[in-house]
Amino acid sequence: MKTLITLFIALTTIGHALCQSNITEAEYFINQDPGYGNATSIDITAMEEVTIDESILNNLPTGLHSFTLRAKNESGEWGLPYTQVFYHQMELTSEPQDHQIAGYEYFIGNDPGIGEGIFVSTEENTEVVITDWLSSLGLTTGTYNLGMRAQTNYGMWGLVSWVEFEFLECEIETVILEGPEVFCSETGTTISAPAGYDAWAWNTNESTESIEISESGEYQVSVYLAENHQCFHSNSWEIDSESVLDPDFEISISFTSGVFDSNLEAHTYLWEVDGIEVGTEALLMYEFEEDGSYEVCMTATNSCGDFQHCEDVIICSQLETAPYFYLDNDEDGYGSQTDSIQACQVPVGYASNGLDCDDNDPEINPDAQEIEGDGIDQNCDGEDFVVSTKDFAQLDFNVYPNPGDNYFNIGFQRPFEGLIELVDLRGRILLQKPLQRTTQYQSPIGGFESGMYIIRIRSGSNMGVTTVQIL
C-alpha cells in the first residue's frame, strides 16, 4: 500500500501573516531549511492543502520529523514559516519480521538528531557505564535530561525516552593502592584499595576492598561513597610476576683472574669464595691470590626467595703446575690411563682421574661390578684377565734404589707408554704420571711417610705391580 502523508495547511492563515497581501508563491521543506526560494515549490492556484507523496519520504528514517511551509506576497516578502512535527514509520513488508533491539544511542540536553547520539551495540554491551563520559562533558552541579532511543536490527528507530537526573560536581581525590610492584608467580599476592568507601569495583569484576592476583598486568579500581554515588574515583596498579630462580652461573678462569656471570635477573646477588663475601654484582671480576682449589657460591634473591648455587674451581698461575686431566672417551667418569692434558679446569670430555682400564667401554671402570671368570677385568683391579708372555714382556721393569728416600728410578726394557701410580697399602692412589714411549722415569717420593708402598704400571689392559719402601 502506498504511504501518503497529508498536511492540511490554511494558506489564508499564512496570508494573514503577510498582512492580507496576495500570496504569489509558496514552498515547503522537511527537517533542514535549504534557504528562501530553495525549498520545494507549491502550485497555489485553487489549492488549500499540500500532499507529500511516498517518494519524498523514501530516504527518511523512522522517527520524528518536521514539515515547514512558507509563502511570499506580491511584494516579494516572505511570511513567517508554519511548522508541523510528524512521525514517520517505514513501511513493513507483508511477511512478519523478527525485530530485535540492535543498539541504543544516548545524549544529554537537546536531541542532536537520529543517529547523532553516542551509539552502543547490544551485541557488545549489556550494561553501559557513563560515569567517565559525564565527567568529560565539564558539567556543573545542576539538573539535566538524559535522552535515549533504541534501534532495531532493521534500522528502525524508536521514540526518545527522557530521564531527569541531578549532577553533582566531584572533588578531585587520589585513590592510593597498596601492593608490591613485583610478586612471585608461585604464591600470588594481594592488592588493596583504601578503606572507608561504600563500594569498590575492580576490572577483575570483584567488589571487595582487596583482591588476590596470580598474573602480571594492570589492575584498576573505582570507589565511591553512597552519599554521593555519582562521584567515582579511580586508580590503576601495574604489577609484574617473577618465577623461581635457577642460579646456574658461569665461571671463566684465566690464570688467577676469574669472571663470575650470574646469567640472572634478580633483586640482589651475593658472591662468596670459600665462604667469604667478595661481591654483590650480577657480573663480577675477581682476582684469586694464589693457586689452589676454591668453592665459589652465588646467592640470588627475588620475590620468590633466596637461591644458591656453588661450584669448585682450580686456579693455576702457570701451566707447569696445573693438574692432569684424562680423556673420558666412554663418558663413565673415569679417564684413560694413556691420554691426558694439563689444564686449570676440567676440559669438556675429560675426567679428573686416569683410572679407566678400558675407556671405550662404559661398563668397565673402578665402580663396575666384576664378573668372575669371564677373562675381563670389569672393575680395573688388575685381576680376572688373561695376558700372554709377550704382554708381560712389555711391562718388564725394575725400580731402584729400593728402599729410597727422595726418588725412585723406574727403568723399562723397551719404550713404555702407559700410566705409573704410587699406591699406599690401603689402596689410595698418591701419585699418577702418564708416560709417552719412555724407557726411564724418575718418580719423586719426598714428603711421603716412611713405609711400604706399591708401584703399579698400567698399559692398556696390562698391569705390572711391585712393592717399594720409602725411608
Q: Could you please report the per-residue DSSP string of 229-280?
A: EEEEEEEEEEEEEEPPP----EEEEETTEEEEE-----SEEEEEETTEEEE-
Mean pLDDT of 273-281: 93
C-alpha cell at 20: 492580507
Share of the chain above pLDDT 90, in %: 15
Question: In this structure, are strands 182-184 and 228-242 parallel, antiparallel, or unpaired?
Answer: parallel
Please state which of the ranges 54-63, 126-135, 151-160 shows the lowest mean pLDDT: 54-63
pLDDT of residue 172: 66
Amino acid found at 238: E
Say if residue 304's pLDDT is above 70. Answer: yes
Question: Do residues 175 and 224 make contact, with C-beta atoms less than 8 angstroms apart?
Answer: no
Question: Do residues 441 and 407 make contact, with C-beta atoms less than 8 angstroms apart?
Answer: no
Question: Do residues 380 and 356 make contact, with C-beta atoms less than 8 angstroms apart?
Answer: yes
pLDDT of residue 384: 57
Q: Of 137-141, 146-150, 152-156, 394-398, give the range with the top mean pLDDT.
A: 146-150
pLDDT-based confidence at residue 92 (cuts at 50, 70, 90): low
Cα separation of 127 and 122, whole Å?
Answer: 9
87-94: list long-range contacts, CB under 8 Å, 24+ apart: 87/63, 87/159, 88/5, 88/57, 88/60, 88/61, 88/62, 88/63, 88/64, 89/62, 89/156, 90/61, 90/62, 90/154, 90/155, 90/156, 91/1, 91/3
pLDDT of residue 52: 63
For the stretch 353-367, pLDDT in tens is 888 888 899 888 888
pLDDT of residue 299: 92
pLDDT of residue 297: 92
Say if residue 95's pLDDT is above 80. Answer: no
Q: Of 120-124, 138-142, 145-149, 372-376, give the range with the top mean pLDDT.
A: 145-149
Please state which of the ranges 54-58, 268-272, 450-454 shows the lowest mean pLDDT: 54-58
Mean pLDDT of 182-186: 91
Phi-psi region of 138 (alpha: psi -120 to 50; beta: other; left: phi over 0): left
Mean pLDDT of 109-117: 89
Residue 322 vs residue 212, higher pLDDT: 212
Mean pLDDT of 392-399: 64
C-alpha cell at 326: 684424562
Question: Do residues 22 and 12 make contact, with C-beta atoms less than 8 angstroms apart?
Answer: no
When the pLDDT of each residue in the chain is averaged and rounded to a whole number, the result is 80
Residue 155 vs residue 228, higher pLDDT: 155
Q: Which of 459, 337, 466 is nearest to 399 (CA)?
A: 466
Continuous segment of H or E residues that includes residue 418 = strand 407-423
Strand partners, 326: 340, 351
pLDDT of residue 426: 65
Cα separation of 292 and 193, whole Å?
Answer: 58
Q: Of 296-300, 355-359, 465-469, give the range with the top mean pLDDT.
A: 296-300
pLDDT-based confidence at residue 337 (cuts at 50, 70, 90): confident
SS3 214: coil
Cα separation of 149 and 298, whole Å?
Answer: 68
Burial of 179 (0-12, 13-18, 19+ CB in 10 A): middle
Cα separation of 51 and 53, whole Å?
Answer: 6
Question: Do residues 312 and 352 make contact, with C-beta atoms less than 8 angstroms apart?
Answer: no
C-alpha cell at 40: 520545494
In the chain, what are the domains? 5-88 (2.60.40), 101-167 (2.60.40), 182-242 (no CATH), 250-317 (2.60.40.10), 323-378 (no CATH), 389-470 (2.60.40.3080)
Question: Do residues 183 and 303 make contact, with C-beta atoms less than 8 angstroms apart?
Answer: yes
Say if residue 190's pLDDT is above 90. Answer: yes
Mean pLDDT of 441-460: 83
Say if residue 424's pLDDT is above 90. Answer: no
Return the C-alpha torsion angle 44, 45, 46, 48, nearest 10. Answer: 0
Say if residue 246's pLDDT is above 70. Answer: yes
Share of the chain above pLDDT 70, in %: 81
Cα separation of 61 and 115, whole Å?
Answer: 10
C-alpha cell at 96: 512478519
pLDDT-based confidence at residue 171 (cuts at 50, 70, 90): low
